[in-house]
């Protein structure tokens, strides 16, 4: 397929582009910045550089702006993957939901019409989050976790309205908690950084039940789903699940896998959680058959260990 893709500079976006290309698809990825060097943070610049090894990049092009509409109408597409989203200060309770919704859906109707300009009727795949309202399975009535989660849920509703009216097939791929090489500084990054410093990692929220999935498996599931999006007006969804367990159990799992590969103590201290500002349980529900996707769990853990060994221990050796 020929695929138009947004959001390739993100952690999961890079992996999705790589796996789509490896599956034989031609990917054209748009980037909001003027060039790869314009991104402020080093991990994102690195991901852009790596993504360009697997796709044709179009820079200075944001979803819904005139340049994007022109691009959408200039070529014949088989699939439009709208993975990009406004994530500015996404962890903040002051995250601007209205502004994010506007950026995520700008000129959506015009973009969808442009995608049909060459006589094609491409499928439309949106990326969702298990932290949106009404996604996944769990407790407390499945509310949005945050203003960011709310913006994602509202963006989905906008496309759910427009895509069928444009006569296109709609699908949604819902992401849980991805981890792996080139990730953002989140939970597993904290664990590895702490262990390389020969310290014990403190897990203060061990009772939350979450769904952590290695990004390489997530990407294979994404590429496989892209190839099977049905030509129907009914929205198809996939909720890929990885390690659905408590955060305490997941921390101990990571510790065991890294201890065997890195020769570090990988100590974990599980706190006693008494406050639950977030829903206690939120997981995805579709078990992914890794063997059917030619995915090796052991190799995935190897890749995580190698990545952090080079990034942390290797960087320290270079500094010395």
Reading the chain (320 residues) residue by residue, the pLDDT tens digits are 999 999 999 999 999 999 999 999 999 999 999 888 888 888 899 999 999 999 999 999 999 999 999 999 999 999 999 999 999 888 888 999 999 999 999 999 999 999 999 988 999 999 999 999 999 999 999 999 999 999 999 999 999 999 999 999 999 999 999 999 999 999 999 999 999 999 999 999 999 999 999 999 999 999 999 998 855 556 689 999 999 999 999 999 999 999 999 999 999 999 999 999 999 999 999 999 999 999 999 999 999 999 999 999 876 554 43
Task: Classify strands 243-246 and 177-179 as parallel, antiparallel or unpaired.
Answer: unpaired
Q: pTM value?
A: 0.95
Nearest to 239 by CA among 222, 251, 257: 222
Q: How far apart are CA 251 and CA 266, in angstroms?
A: 10
Report the DSSP beta bridge partners of residue 202. Answer: 269
The torsion defined by the Cα of 3, 240, 305 and 12, in degrees rounded to 10, comes to 30
How many other C-beta atoms are found inside a 10 Å radius of the C-beta of residue 137?
A: 15
HSE-up of residue 261 (Cα within 13 Å, Cβ side) = 20
Judge contact between 56 and 28, C-beta under 8 A.
yes
- Residues 77/30, Cβ–Cβ less than 8 Å: no
- Number of Cβ within a 10 Å radius of residue 5: 25
d(CA 62, CA 39): 14
Burial class (CB in 10 A: 0-12, 13-18, 19+), 299: exposed
Q: How far is CA 102 from CA 64, 159, 188, 220, 271, in A?
A: 10, 12, 32, 30, 40
Classify domain 2-178+212-241 by CATH architecture: 3-Layer(aba) Sandwich (3.40)
When the candidates are 1.20.1270, 3.10.350, 3.90.25, 2.50.20, the CATH number that belongs to 181-211+243-319 is: 3.90.25
Sign of the dihedral defined by the CA atoms of residues 102, 285, 229, 170, in that order:
negative
- d(CA 192, CA 309) in angstroms, rounded, equals 9
Largest separation between any pair of C-alpha atoms in the chain: 61
Domain chopping of the chain, boundaries: 2-178+212-241, 181-211+243-319
* Region class of 116: left (phi > 0), else alpha (psi between -120 and 50), else beta: alpha
- Give one word for 180, left, alpha or beta, with left for phi > 0 and alpha for psi -120 to 50: left
- pLDDT score recorded for residue 43: 87
What backbone phi and psi angles, to 5 degrees, belong to 179?
Answer: -145, 160
């Amino acid at each position: 397929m020929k695929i138009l893709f947004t959001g390739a500079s993100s952690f999961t976006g890079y992996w999705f582009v790589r796996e789509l290309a490896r599956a034989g698809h031609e990917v054209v990825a748009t980037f909001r910045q003027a060039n790869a060097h314009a991104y402020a943070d080093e991990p994102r610049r690195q991901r852009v550089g790596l993504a360009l090894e697997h796709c044709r990049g179009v820079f200075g092009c944001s979803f819904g702006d005139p340049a994007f509409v022109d691009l959408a109408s200039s070529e014949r597409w088989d699939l439009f993957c709208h993975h990009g989203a406004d994530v500015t200060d996404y962890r903040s309770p002051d995250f601007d939901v209205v502004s994010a919704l506007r950026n995520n859906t700008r000129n959506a109707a015009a973009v969808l019409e442009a995608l049909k300009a060459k006589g094609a009727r491409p499928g439309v795949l949106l990326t969702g989050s298990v932290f949106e309202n009404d996604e996944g399975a769990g407790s407390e009535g499945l509310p949005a976790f945050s203003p960011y989660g709310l913006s994602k849920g509202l963006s989905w509703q906008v496309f759910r309205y427009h895509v069928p009216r444009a006569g296109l097939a709609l699908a949604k791929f819902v992401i849980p908690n991805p981890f792996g090489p080139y990730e953002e500084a989140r939970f597993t990054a904290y664990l590895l950084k702490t262990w390389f410093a020969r310290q014990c990692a403190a897990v203060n929220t061990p009772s939350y039940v979450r769904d952590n999935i290695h990004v390489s498996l997530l990407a294979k599931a994404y590429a496989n789903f892209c190839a099977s999006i049905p030509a129907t007006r009914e929205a198809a969804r996939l909720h890929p699940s990885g390690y659905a367990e408590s955060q305490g159990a997941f921390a101990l799992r990571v510790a065991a896998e890294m201890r065997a590969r890195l020769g570090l103590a990988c100590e974990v201290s599980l706190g006693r959680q008494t406050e639950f500002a977030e829903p206690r349980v939120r997981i995805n529900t579709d078990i992914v058959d890794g063997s059917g996707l030619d995915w090796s769990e052991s190799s995935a853990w190897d890749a995580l260990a190698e990545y952090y060994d080079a990034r942390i221990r290797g960087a320290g050796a270079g500094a010395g």
